Structure 1
Amino acid sequence: MYKDLERQVISAGKCVMCGTCVSACPHDLLAVDEWGKRIVCVGKCPMDCKVCTDICIGLHPIEVDSSEIFGVFSEVVHVQSLMNDVKQYSYFQYQPIHRSLGDIAKPKSGVVSSVLIYLLQEGLVGCAVVAGRRQDEPWRPSPAIATNRNEVLYASGTKPFHCPTNAVLISALANFDRVALVGLPCHIEGVRRLAERYKEFREQIAYLIGIPCGNIFSRDLFTRQAVKKGIDIEEIVAVDFDNAVFKEETPINNLGMYIVTRNGRRHPLSLNEFKAAMAKECIGCKDFSAEHSDLSVATLGAPTGWSTVFIRTGKGKEIIETMVAKGLLTKRQFVYEKVKDKAKLAAQAEMVWLKSQPKTWMSIVTQALIKRARMYY
């Protein structure tokens, strides 16, 4: 019942805005509000319906399969796209007022976009559910259904904010027999829960590509930090990061994250600014690497222009191997322990930072984050 969802999750600050409940509602009564910030009920919810609360990640947190930070996988490799137009694409190249920002928001390796384009062109899926871009605020994501190469590329690039991607799943399933989805761990887990409950989700969702998630921004807290830095919100066009921050030799406290404004200037975010802007409802999450996906595509531990890909299922492996054989991707082996060690350092640094904060900041949520950090070393 929506009243329970509103009381126990939304008003309680536990909603991660994955959008799963919108697609799960058998009465088609749930929706995302016009600001993309809240799940609302648009009709009278039956008293005896509990679907939304049963599948809610806010009420029933993700359970990871292993004590390993990256979960269970059959293989991990470095992968790079060989589709040059994909690697060079930037959303801003095609926006007249932003054309000078063509180097911003380019894919880091092009792997995710290349895989989606391949699946669409080969007819393996009819569409891909992705985090697209808002026209009015291109730095903010918005749920989108991509059906061709251009729509996939339009949605590419870094957008580290809440996006109710799963809210459009029900529409995708109504119009296409087979669907791929790209999402954060919460989106992937939401789809898995839907597949357990509903036959159409189980049969029609063909591929799940996960994007590992350390922390994402709350829109309101992010804009507050931007204003403190003297940045006009209307001038923001992207939030980007320097791929070098994830290299082995980079100090873990060097975030390499920037707010990019219309004039092309990059405004660096300090660790304190980043932590102050992160979404508090997400920081107790234990699934860093989208463990329940077919493929997890990460930047952590990969050289510039490459991604670290965790292959978790047979069909995930088949995609990578087939695309490599066709000359669409290239892959190479590497020492996995180096990536694992880098992730452990990040967890340790996170806990050190938390313990340095004033006691008034050490809330129950913060304790949950410390517990998460301790899992990994």
Structure 2
Amino acid sequence: MKEQLDELINTVVKNDYCIGCGICASIEGSPLAMKLDENGKYKPLMNIKDCMDEINIDFLSICPFSSHSINESELGKKLFDDYEGISFNEYTGYYLKNYAGYVKEGDFRKKGSSGGVGNWIASKLLQENLVDGIIHVKPANQKDEVLFKYQISCDNDELSKGAKSKYYPVEMSQVLKFVKENEGRYALIGIPCFIKGVRLLAEQDEIIRERIKFCIGLVCGHLKSDMFAKSIGWQLGIEPKYLKGIDFRKKLENRLASDYGVEVIGEKDGKEVILNSPTRHLYTTNWGHGLFKYNACEFCDDVLAETADITVGDAWLPEYTKDSMGTNVIIVRNPVIQQIIENNKNKLWIDEISVEKVYQSQAGGFRHRREGLAYRLYLKDQNNEWRPPKRVKSNNNLPSKRKRIYEERTKLSQESFKAFKAAEQVNNFQVFIDYMDPMIKKYNKLSAPSIVRRVLSKIKREILRRIGR
């Protein structure tokens, strides 16, 4: 057991491939505990000197970034391959049906980041007595040192408190311990690597396998450290230590769905204030820059939570983004959930879409996680550095400009942590901007579309406008 732990620490953790899910720390008797590090990312730390001999879980095979764990395609085959009507695609994984849609009933859509389908499905699982509780991320208590954490909700009122995306570090060790200690049937809502970790744990842990009945996956760009939330509050006038709450996805009426806002709660000049802004006005919210990104996200090839029973995300397609209320892209893999959708079509607006449309809705993410990942793997291999095994193969066969773009993205992410700590030292956010600005300008210039592409794009938009699409 000690050898397994040593290998886990020396490969995944020390090389910064840990996503901080907390699976390894959730095992009874585990010598690991999850703590936020200096960069605001969860990492497992040893809290006792020796591992207990009676632990019968293989630490290496439950870590989603270990070289000993099976990949998403292999897990998906075990989970979904026997379902009638199931299909497989290299980007979506297994699927029964794919949709774009939103919830028409109640305030699920209003309270959600997008179309509200994720929380609606969770609500239906409770309503139809298929589960007793939903494991999801909600605002933490004021006594907690963090803004959000995993909790369990057993009714719609509590469930609604966890609506919307939280671009914030969380871990699952404590909530999984609760599941182990408390009988019941649960559904888990999470990002791809967290769900993969729970599926891996369920392979070895009968109680987890029996009690976590469903997994609801979230389409994922990448996970942020707590510096992301702090940077937003700081730009709006709330110093990091005084930030008390944040809404990362505040819908703005009569704008594109992608043009949303952010709202923060905190203390300013001795008074509690609520401040907001469109995210496009803020310096750190360009998702393509990848500021404050977990390094593990640079070595993940699962965009659509392929091991989840259903995956929901934003339908970033031109025919849907004009609606500021938001529309979900939906990938269904479990026939029980498919039947829930079929039985409640009058409560939804849904449009069945092709696998190609699903891909297009997340095309940027797939390029970064497949093409970009192949190049990042190549760089690691050239330097003889350990990295997780991936389904994507190491590849150097990219145009030189694309290589530079991926190199600069990695640099932006890595340097953002240094820049934020430098700004904190002198309590001045402008220091962060001055530090990052030359790199961001270089990246923006490099990644800007060519004149020819801009002209063609403009012509295409005009044609679509004229034909009324």
TM-score range, shorter chain: 0.7 to 0.9
Aligned length in residues? 340
Q: Distance in 2 between matches of 1:357 and 1:293?
A: 29
Q: Which runs of 5+ in 2 are unaligned?
A: 74-87, 266-273, 373-400, 415-469
Q: Secondary structure at the match of 2:109?
A: helix
Aligned-residue offset at 1:107: 3.7
Q: Residues of 1 paired with 2:251 and 2:70: CA distance?
A: 28
**Percent identity between the two aligned chains:** 20
**Structure 1: stretches of 5+ with no match in the other structure:** 90-105, 366-377
User: Computing the radius of gyration over CA atoms, which structure comes out larger, 1 or 2?
Assistant: 2
Mapping 1:36-115, distance limit 5 Å = 37-43=42-48, 44-46=50-52, 51-60=58-67, 63-65=71-73, 68-89=90-111, 106-115=112-121
Picking from 351, 365, 370, the partner of 1:332 is 351
Distance 1:226 1:275, change over 3 A: farther
Contact 1:120 1:147 in 2 (8 A): yes
Counterpart mapping for 1:232-311 below 5 A: 232-233=239-240, 234-235=242-243, 237-238=245-246, 240-241=248-249, 256=259, 259-262=262-265, 263-266=274-277, 267=279, 268=282, 269=284, 271=286, 274-301=289-316, 303=320, 304=323, 305-311=326-332
TM-score of the pair, normalised by structure 2: 0.62
Structure 1 residues 335 and 70, CA gap change in structure 2 (3 angstroms) = closer
| Larger RCO (alpha carbons 8 Å, 6+ apart) | 1
The one of 180, 183, 193 aligned to 2:190: 183
**TM-superposed deviation, 1:184:** 0.6
For 1:341, the equivalent position in structure 2 comes to 360
Q: CA contact under 8 A between 2:19 and 2:42: conserved in structure 1?
A: no
Aligned twin of 1:205: 212
The partner residue of 1:171 within 178, 201, 226 is: 178
How far apart, in 1, do the equivalents of 2:246 and 2:140 lie? 11
Q: What TM-score do the two structures reach when normalised by structure 1?
A: 0.75
Structure 1: which amino acid aligns with 2:306? Answer: E
**Contact 2:168/2:226, CA 8 A, preserved across alignment:** yes
Compared with structure 1, are the counterparts of its residues 113 and 361 closer, same or farther at alpha carbon in structure 2 (3 Å cutoff)? closer
Distance 1:273 1:292 in 2: 25
Task: Give 1:87's aligned amino acid.
Answer: R
Aligned alpha-carbon RMSD (Å) = 3.8
Question: Counterparts of 2:342 and 2:195 in 1: how far apart (Å)?
Answer: 22
Partner in structure 2 of residue 19 of structure 1 = 22
Partner secondary structure for residue 8 of structure 1: helix
CA contact under 8 A between 1:81 and 1:330: conserved in structure 2?
yes
Secondary structure of 2:25's aligned partner: helix
Aligned-partner Cα distance in 2 for 1:179–1:216: 24
Shift of 1:38: 3.0
1:355 match:
404
**Deviation per residue, 1:142-191 (Å, 9 max, x gap):** 01111111111111112022321364123124323311111111111112
Asked if the contact 2:24/2:30 (under 8 Å) is kept, the reply is no
Q: Give the aligned partner of residue 438 of structure 2.
A: none
